[in-house]
Amino acid sequence: RSAVLGAGLQPGLTGLLPRWLALQGFTRVLGLNSYFGLRDHFTAVAADDFLQGAVDGTSEPLAAWHNGRCSRALRRRRDVLLPCFPGPVHVLPYLNREGERLARDLRLETGQWFNVMTDGHVLKVLDQAHSLSRAEAVQRLCTASQLDLSGQPSFVTLLLQLDGLCDDQAYTRSLVVSGAGNAPLTGAMAAVTVVSVLEGEIRPGCHDAAYALPPAASLERLQRTQAIRALTLLDHPLAHLQHAEEGCL
């Protein structure tokens, strides 16, 4: 029997994509930067799962990887302009178990992970969640997500940048992923995991999807679905996406 855990958007796809990117020409990966954000509605189950991850120790706010877990290494930032995100956003650093395992597997020197959130009701509820009962926090998150979606499109955006070496030369590659929403991407990852099990690509036992799935084959299958709207591989840092070219007509 095979049991595959974390076969969703996060954890799951957020761990699989850096593994795939690390195979794109690197002889060694030294640093990783990840920006993950979404605007979508919370179901009660999703809200409870999100809150559980914030209190059970699997995710440490403000932590980063510097040849090991480093607590309070980063700070929360407001009104940040990031490429591919709608307007100024809030950037919340964190380090969870998926990121820590990824850092060890890739032998990273540095790793920084950020949740990206638009200003709105969900952010306010998250700031208040520690003073609420779990049931009340879940209910408020669900309501807040519906308010934030009012008149706004849902989105899922993941920006990845890996820095390292290619034959002893400095090498950087970035990845921009746009998704249709939380539920479509989670469902697509679950389906891709089932296909991988049926194809005999995952050995018997208990595994995490991000590390058990074959990166190339899984990404190819994901791109056949409508869950991924766009996936762009870049040969330069993410910061280059913010460079404006000025001129006149």
Give residue-wise pLDDT tens across range 228-243: 999 999 999 999 987 6
Average pLDDT rounded to a whole number, residues 219-231: 94
- Per-residue confidence (pLDDT) for residue 245, from 0 to 100: 58
Question: Phi, psi at residue 134, to the nearest 5°?
Answer: -60, -45
Band the pLDDT of 244: cuts 50, 70, 90. Answer: low
Looking at per-residue confidence, does 7 or 51 come out higher?
Answer: 7
Whether 214 contacts 196, CB under 8 Å: yes
Where does the pLDDT of residue 54 fall: very low under 50, low under 70, confident under 90, or very high at 90 and above?
A: low
Question: Which CATH number covers residue 127?
Answer: 3.30.360.10
Indicate whether 248 belongs to any domain.
no
Domain count, the chain: 1
Whole-angstrom CA distances from 57 to 34, 51, 61, 190 are 20, 11, 10, 25
| pLDDT value of position 106 | 96
Other beta carbons within 10 Å of 139: 16
Residue 246 has pLDDT above 90, yes or no: no
CA distances from 249 to 206, 243, 244, 246 (A): 60, 19, 15, 10
pLDDT over 80 (residue 248): no
Instruction: Let me know if residue 114 belongs to a domain.
Output: yes
92-102 burial code (b ≥16 CB/10 A, e <16): bbbbbbbbbeb
> What is the model's pLDDT at position 232?
95
Q: Are 89 and 77 within 8 A, CB to CB? A: no
Per-residue model confidence (pLDDT) at position 221: 96
Q: By residue range, what is the domain housing residue 46?
A: 2-242
Q: Are 12 and 209 in contact (CB under 8 A)?
A: yes
Residue 7 in any domain: the answer is: yes
Residue 247 lies in a domain: no
- How far the first Cα of the chain sits from its last, in Å, is 64
Calpha distance 96→55 (Å, rounded) = 12
Strand blocks (E) in 134-240: 155-166, 169-179, 205-208, 228-234
- pLDDT per residue as tens digits for the range 182-199: 889 999 999 999 999 999
| In a domain? residue 18 | yes
Residue 21 inside a domain? The answer is yes
pLDDT at position 243, please? 61
Give the type of residue at 249: L
SS3 (DSSP) at 122: helix
* Percent residues over pLDDT 90 in the chain: 72
3-state secondary structure of 212: helix
Per the prediction, the chain carries an average pLDDT of: 92
Answer for the pair 114, 93: CB distance below 8 angstroms, yes or no: yes
Amino acid at 41: H
Q: Is the pLDDT of residue 128 over 70?
A: yes
In-domain check, residue 249: no
CA distance 33 to 111: 6
* Helices 215-223 + 182-198 axis angle, to 10: 130
- Overall average pLDDT of the 129-142 stretch: 90
What is the percent of the chain with per-residue pLDDT over 70, rounded to a whole number? Answer: 96
Mean pLDDT of 29-36: 97
